[in-house]
Amino acid sequence: MGFRLPAILRGKQILQRSSSANQTASMDVPKGYLAVYVGRKRFVIPVSYLNKPSFQDLLIQAEEEFGYDHPMGGLTIPCCENMFIDVISCLNCS
């Protein structure tokens, strides 16, 4: 039983690239913002939206549907993308 060193090294390189890609994804959220998922799309929104009643309604829906175990690994909002964009647009205007 022997180990195939080149295959092990390639596997290690793939894992390192994957790990650095995850770090980059989490680092591209500026201070004062958070990433949320609607469907499979990712949105970066201001933290101040968390205090807005219309956004809190979306958070309540997320809690009812997913609890604290979100399938995408981040905060997932269970609504259609168009509805989310409408809510965010209203928050941007106010």
Dihedral angle, C-alpha 29, 67, 37, 73, nearest 10 ° = 60
Cross-strand bridge partners of residue 44: 35
Q: What pLDDT, in 10s, does the model give residues 13-71?
A: 554 544 444 445 556 899 999 999 998 899 999 999 999 999 999 989 888 887 766 66
> Tell me, what's the pLDDT at 63?
85
29-93, CATH topology level: Potassium Channel Kv1.1; Chain A (3.30.710)
Domain ranges of the chain: 29-93
Q: Compute the distance between CA of residue 39 and CA of residue 81 in angstroms, rounded to an integer.
A: 7
For position 75, what pLDDT does the model report? 84
pTM over 0.75: no
| CA 39-40-46 angle, 5° bins | 80
Q: Residue 73: phi, psi to the nearest 5?
A: 85, -5
Q: What is the pLDDT of residue 93?
A: 85
Instruction: Select the more confidently predicted residue: 26 or 7.
Output: 26
| β-bridge mates for residue 36, sequence order | 43, 75
pLDDT in tens, 72-93: 567 888 889 999 999 999 988 8
For the CA atoms of the chain, what is the radius of gyration? 18
pLDDT at 11 over 70: no
- Give helix then strand counts, H and E, for the chain: 3, 3
